[in-house]
Amino acid sequence: MTPTVEDQSAQAVIDILALGAPLTFTVNYRVLTKFGNLSSDAAFAHHPDFGNSISIGDVRFIYAPDGTSFTCSTATGECKPGIDESRVSDRQLVSTIFQSSAIERILQDTRVAVGMGTSTTSSVNDQPTTCTVIPVVDSNAATQAKTYCAFDNLGVLASLETADLSISAISVTLDAQADQFAG
């Protein structure tokens, strides 16, 4: 069941992310972990036959359609059953950041928001996006904006801008290769 919030701007992005990935595609991202100024490359690939592949740095998380999952090293090719989030915890990330974790962040931000979000639209590589900009108050009592954008047709994050992370899609292709779903 898709979570619901009163903020229609936020709800629009939640609805897109909750739908998941209907098409075969790969999105490449640039991620900046602001605490420590750590920059990483990341990718989200979806293929109906192979599932979802999330690469962050040299760690790849694979969620297969049959419910199995693996954590792999793209450097060594070694894979272990299950998802080991500690492999990317130094980046303030989890493997689900491009979908369900982004929804959780939006839900939290709408609970502490000091106003309703503002909707915007954009595109990345001709793929339309829907965004919400949520006003929150930081620890210094200053109003800050947290921005979340989702690809309308792909069901994944297009960008995120918060106090701790900056995530930006840098390319989108309507293709995914079998090797993206292996170590």
SS3 at position 156: coil
Distance of CA 55 to the CA centre of its chain: 11
Q: In the prediction, which pLDDT does 119 show?
A: 98
Q: Is residue 71 part of a domain?
A: yes
What range defines the domain where residue 155 resides? 8-172
Considering the chain, what is the average pLDDT of its residues?
A: 95
How confident is the model over 79-106, as a mean pLDDT?
A: 94
- Residue corresponding to tokens 């309507």: 174
Q: Is residue 163 part of a domain?
A: yes
How confident is the model over 91-115, as a mean pLDDT?
A: 94
Higher model confidence: residue 78 or residue 21? 78
Q: Is residue 182 part of a domain?
A: no
CATH number of the domain where residue 118 is located: 2.50.20
Nearest to 31, CA basis, from 124, 159, 125: 159
pLDDT confidence band for 91 (50 / 70 / 90) = confident
The domain total for the chain is: 1
Q: In the prediction, which pLDDT does 1 show?
A: 78
Kindly state the tokens that stand for 99.
Answer: 């979908």
